[in-house]
A and B are shown apart, each in its own frame.
Chain A
Amino acid sequence: MGPHLVPKRVYYTIFAALLVLTVVTVIVAFIDLGPFNNLIAMTIAVAKATLVVLYFMHVRYSGKLTWVFAGAGFVWLIILFVFLLNDYLTREAWSNLLTGHP
């Protein structure tokens, strides 16, 4: 038995998708979309990372325990960022970032 053998075709498809998304993220960076520039850049990065994790790192074909381990890393990361922003965004000097008023 052993680990799942992923067809080569899958690797080539993911590879092409990663290259296309890289080109898209560079092009979008040169277009002024206001606050959406950051949002789109990070959405593309998350999409690329998800493709790598699911297909290159075989999580899609792995057991539930692997899903729990991989998921735990990202849950911990989210806790770090949410509570960090919870502090900084509520500070006097930063409150304009939340309301949009200078």
Chain B
Amino acid sequence: MSEHHPALAHHFEDLDQQFEAAGLGMWAFLVQEILFFGGLFAAYLVYRMSYPEAFIQGSHYLDITLGGVNTAILICSSLTMALAVFYGQQGNRRQLILFLFLTIVLGAAFLGIKAVEYTHKYHEHLIPGPMFHPEEAHPPQMQIFFALYFAMTGMHALHMVIGIGILVFLIYQARQGRYSVEYNSPIEIFGLYWHFVDIVWIFLFPLLYLIGRH
């Protein structure tokens, strides 16, 4: 039966093989993503070891409550995404759409809080460049901390914006009845991407918000 499924591309034997190939393709992309963010983490490591005091002082400007709430929101969104994959595999269209939608809501909440944090940093003159002049005395290298803060959280936020765009597309496809028990790999493949973005934040949160708090 499955070889006649409309979603089966002609160059695959069956839907299982097609699913495995799609999953591996996403993993190849994620390996590239690991190394992309790896470069940013490597820059962080070198500068933090070079200027530990500047990094600790910079970290104190970040809001642990907002960062912590955002961490919890992202973990919740990973759960709703995992459940969307679960209902997609079961062919439960109603629940699939509901959990994809909840994932969008949580992702948007994360970005909203991030926007509030960025606004605070703007008003406190913590944007690196000619406008950088926080009121308190600080080592000049604190600017490096904020350059990395904006680069890393900014790239992470961009990944979330793209993710939300794809979620909207998946809901549209689900409403069209594209997904079923036999064919739901786009949901599963996108889940890999969303969970990866969660993992990046799992490292960003302690490295940016929690250093030198004791």
* Chain A interface (Cβ < 8 Å from any Cβ of B): 1-3, 5-6, 8, 11-12, 15, 18-19, 22, 25-26, 29-33, 37-38, 41-42, 44-45, 48-49, 52-53, 55-58, 62-63, 65-66, 69-70, 72-74, 76-77, 80-81, 84-85, 88, 94, 97
Contacts and interface: CB of A to CB of B under 8 A. Distances in A.
Given A15-B79, A81-B42, A52 B195 contact: yes
B79 A29 contact: no
A52 B198 contact: yes
**9 nearest A-B residue pairs (beta carbon):** A73-B31, A32-B214, A29-B210, A69-B27, A73-B34, A41-B206, A15-B79, A29-B213, A11-B82
Contacts of B81: 56
A2 B15 contact: yes
B147 interface: no
A33 B211 CA distance: 12
A30 B206 CA distance: 12
Query: Mostly helix, strand, loop or mixed at chain B's interface?
Result: helix
A59 B106 CA distance: 24
Interface residues of B, number: 51
Contacts of A70: 27, 30-31
B2 to A, nearest CB: 9
